[in-house]
Structure 1
């Protein structure tokens, strides 16, 4: 298979896939005819070919996928006027604490926020697919260790946690705002 044909196939697969695809998945789709390095080169060429258009090819935490340029979102919202779910301030604060302090226990989140974190908040984040239990802390009671996952990063358009904006947590400020 030549590179031009590979680019055409990869582009088609990515445009029609419901999920992001990792290089090994793409390699398998191509019957292992191309090396990972060649596939990455094809992905780079596709990325360049789509520059300046309304859609871009991005590498996210869960793989490669096409996404609309941020400035196109206003038009996409008109196409699908459904509003995404709105989350309470408590849910968003809890998510932010987990994202920046992970892995973390519910008790540690409560210590930072200064208030009890309800089971419903944690369940909401788990149901959204942004949060998972990655183990248990080796202390009495063995509380769950919570962390964000690749779906969380992908929904934010990020490849890795280090791309999150830098912030400083001040537990006292969080307590005063509740």
Structure 2
């Protein structure tokens, strides 16, 4: 697309400052382009940032896009902020994986799978913006349903939930059976 430097610059600026990923439709509307034109420009930006000399990358999240830093440059950014990354506890990671694979799910279902209460872990994940309330389940007490957020995708470098590794339940059942036989 020739002679679209102004529109390209506008898209780049929007993708840089946006807190949340922007869809092609939103970008087209903001820059006053047809959606197919915005898609072409986004594709050009994507190619531009794939070049190794750039520190930024165009990140695709669900149906949207945003600019971010390339993962391999994380040590430089961490050095700038000199803040140790606050990881998640084992309990929080366990709860997060249950929610990611079983969503939408209730706190009671999580507790049942884990065998312990998960209130604190769920609260931590909500506070960090990795999970959110996505509705209420029909039934007694109408418990809250939880699901992952776009921040979850960003945090783990995923474009969509379909990129989650598949669960090998057969291998898990086999290893559990082997452990029982050894006891």
- Report the TM-score when normalising by structure 2: 0.81
Q: Does 1:57 align with 2:48?
A: no
Q: In structure 2, list runs of 5 or more residues that go unmatched.
A: none
| Counterpart position of 1:26 | 27
Q: Distance in 2 between matches of 1:147 and 1:16?
A: 26
Kindly report structure 1 stretches of 4+ aligned residues shifted beyond 6 Å. none
Counterpart for residue 96 of structure 1: 97
Q: For residues 115 and 139 of structure 2, what CA distance do their matches in structure 1 show?
A: 21
Tell me the equivalent position of 1:3: 4
Which consecutive residues of structure 1, in runs of 5 or more, have no partner in the other structure? none
**Aligned ranges 1:33-52 → 2 under 5 Å:** 33-51=32-50, 52=52
Contact residue 61 and residue 151 of structure 1 kept, 8 A: no
Does structure 2 conserve the Cα–Cα contact (< 8 Å) formed by 1:22 and 1:62? yes
Aligned runs of 1:132-147 on 2, under 5 Å?
A: 132-147=132-147
Higher RCO (CA-CA < 8 Å; seq separation 6+): 1
1:61 Cα deviation after fit: 3.1
Cα drift, residue 18 of structure 1: 4.3
Deviations 1:148-176 (A, max 9, x none): 12221122222211111222465996xx9
Give RMSD over aligned pairs.
2.5
Show the 5 A alignment for 1:29-178.
29-30=30-31, 33-51=32-50, 52=52, 53-61=54-62, 63-117=64-118, 119-168=119-168
